Structure 1
Amino acid sequence: MSQTVVNIPPSGPEMESKYEEKVVSPWKEVWRKFKKNKMAVVGFGIVSFFILLAIFADWIAPYGFKETQLNQKHLSPSSEHWFGTDEFGRDIFSRIIYGARISLWVGFLSVAGSAVVGSFLGILAGYYGRWVDTIISRFFDILLAFPSILLAIAVVAMLGPSLQNALIAIAIINVPTFGRLVRSRVLTIKEEEYITAAKAIGMGDGRILLHHVLPNSLAPIIVQGTLAIATAIIEAAALGFLGMGAQPPTPEWGKMLADSKDFMIQAPWTVFFPGIAIMLTVLGFNLMGDGLRDALDPKMKN
């Protein structure tokens, strides 16, 4: 009679630890994938650099942003004035450092406002549908029918030129972008089985939206928010350049470009350095946003 040998895998604490799967937090996994993207890390470094400049501007800037020396106007870059001086003898390096605080403040606050309002409207439109979706979607279509910069100019023209009104205008023109993005996401989420199960056990719409729909919509909101900050900085600079944003002597980068446009040949550094600051900041947020998109996209898991 033949004997059958059955191989039974060994058991015990050692083998349990060997076969035990390591549970990784989703956000740690996102950070791990983000770090693998070298360009995203470069963008994160650029953004972090400008954020630190904005936070410690009072200690880093060698001069005050309003400090004028008329006998030193249009000095070329030197050891005393690293980026030279403008038409009023103000130190451009110091004004760019303080300008980082203004540009980032406008970018973060305007995008935060548009993300909150747009996401709220998008969730309502996608979850309830019918006439709610129709009204909100037509509202988005009306806002998107206008070129963004022209709509921002119109809003500032009605409210009056100032940095705060420019912030409000930038927030308004970004609302439909977040709204349509979240709406499309919610249309998919509300068909999932866990939403059906939540309704079956009697969970109210408020709890479903807060505990299930919103958390599963955060990934595209975060990615779009990062990219929208770059757009908001450009739009704030455009409004400042047109004289409808920050007013003198606020060291806003767009306003600095507008004030220096008549001296491009005589003193090119007055235009070059503010333009480079805008370009680097926008580049940093775009690179970081692309990295977050890849890290948060489940299709990129492998």
Structure 2
Amino acid sequence: MQTTAQVNTQATGPVRTRQSSPWRDAWYRLKKQKTALAGLFVIIFFIVVGLLAPVITSQPWDGQNLADKLKPPSAQHWFGTDDLGRDIFTRVIYGARISLWVGFFSVVGSIVIGTSMGLVAGYYGRWVDTIISRLFDIILAFPSILLAIAIVTILGPGLSNALIAIAIINVPTYGRLVRSRVLSIKEEEYVTAAKVLGMSHVRILFSHILPNSMAPIIVQGTLGIATAVLEAAALGFLGLGAQAPQPEWGKMIADSRQYITAAYWTVLFPGLAIMLTVLGFNLFGDGLRDALDPKMKQ
């Protein structure tokens, strides 16, 4: 005699259950966090604004009109104009390209170099670990912004050199993070089994250890972009990053700081752009950290 469940199964076919994966579960938890989604919205907003800058505004970002200098916000100039009569709204949205470009690629460089060094140090240990760890300690012994200033001073002022400096000073952050993960993962049974089967060290590193270390790297990378944007703005403010007439937010604030009382809008809107961008990446990074943490899984 068939039960009701058996009859329903025969009538409708086997019930398909949705397969679960760590990344799918993380995305499910991330969608529940409103602050993380708000941060993601801010990030996407600035990316879209930067990409569509020529569509959003028809004015050139370096166009000067001394007759309109230091004009307050109006229907013609939404964010006002600076001391050279340039439209601040246009320069702010074009500046999103520069800040996000520096933030993203400096973090990518830091991750590639730091992850490689951390993998080697944690996996091989001994004198290799000692040398790489001491190198990290030397870099971390200096305040990050002072070390970045020193590197840019040696290489020469410029946006590309600022990107290199920001990448270098953040290498130990990812290197030490990956090294700590490797030290724990390499003792797992599946890694030992791979060694017994004769798998090469390179294959073990990139097939077993690195994939299981990606979650903290992604979280730190997201938060690192916010830090990189701030560091790029600081170097630009000091005259060591982007050079005139590039519309970099930190450089815009530096060029207009003498007008802060007479024309507040010249520093207000670039400063707000920096604040919102950094806030967006921080909110999204915090949400990612909670979503990718296995302890948060119900």
Task: Tell me what 1:91 maps to.
Answer: 87
Partner of residue 52 from structure 2, selected from 53, 56, 63: 56
When the two structures are aligned, how many residues end up with a matched partner? Answer: 294
The offset of 1:25, in angstroms, is 3.4
2-side partners of 1:124 and 1:9: how far apart?
A: 59
Looking at structure 2, the residues matched to 10 and 145 of structure 1 have their Cα atoms a distance apart, in angstroms, of 67
Q: Distance in 2 between matches of 1:136 and 1:258?
A: 38
**Aligned counterpart, 1:244:** 240
- How far apart, in 2, do the equivalents of 1:121 and 1:13 lie? 57
Matched AA of 2:24: K
Instruction: Letter of the 1:24 partner, please give it.
Output: S
Aligned residue type for 1:218? M
Question: Measured at CA, do residues 48 and 203 of structure 1 come closer, stay the same or move farther in structure 2, by a change above 3 Å?
Answer: same
2:199 maps to 1:199: no
CA distance in 1, matches of 2:203, 2:131: 24
Q: C-alpha displacement at 1:28, in angstroms?
A: 2.1
Change (3 A) 1:70 1:146: same
Matching residue of 1:133: 129
* Residue number in structure 1 paired with 2:224: 228
What is the aligned partner in structure 1 of residue 70 from structure 2? 74
Provide Cα deviations, 1:224-243, integer angstroms capped at 9, x if missing partner: 00000000000000000000
Counterpart code for 1:137:
S
TM-score after normalising by structure 1? 0.94
Residue 26 of structure 1, CA deviation: 2.8
The amino acid that maps onto 1:194 is: Y
Q: Residues 39 and 71 from structure 1, CA distance in 2 versus in 1: closer, same or farther, beyond 3 angstroms?
A: same
Name the Cα RMSD after superposition.
1.5
- Offset from partner CA, 1:164-200 (integer Å, 9 cap, x none): 0000000000000000000001111001000000001
The answer on 1:170 being equivalent to 2:166 is yes
Q: Give CA deviations for 1:117-162 in whole Å, capped at 9, x if unaligned.
A: 0000001011111101000000000000000000000000000000
Q: Give the counterpart of 2:43 among 18, 24, 47.
A: 47
Q: 1:27 aligns with which of 14, 23, 38?
A: 23
Report the Cα distance in structure 1 between the residues aligned to 2:227 and 2:28, rounded to whole angstroms.
27
CA distance in 2, matches of 1:280, 1:17: 50
Shift of 1:12: 7.1
Distance 1:21 1:46 in 2: 35
- Of 149, 154, 174, the residue aligned with 2:150 is 154
Select 1:112's aligned residue among 83, 108, 114. Answer: 108
In structure 1, the partner of 2:9 is: 14
Quote the offset at 1:9 in angstroms. Answer: 11
Deviations 1:10-61, CA, capped at 9 Å, x for gaps: 757729945x643123322221111100000000000000000111111112
CA distance in 2, matches of 1:12, 1:227: 54
Gap runs ≥5 in structure 1: 1-7
Q: Which residue of 1 aligns with 2:261?
A: 265
Cα distance in 2 for partners of 1:26, 1:56 equals 35
- TM-score by structure 2 length? 0.96
Which runs of no fewer than 5 residues in structure 2 stay unpaired?
A: none
Cα distance in 2 between the residues matched to 1:31 and 1:42: 15
Choose 1 or 2 for highest CA Rg: 1
2:178 to 176, 179, 182: 182
d(CA) in 1 for partners of 2:257, 2:19: 57
Q: 2:291 aligns with which of 289, 295, 299?
A: 295
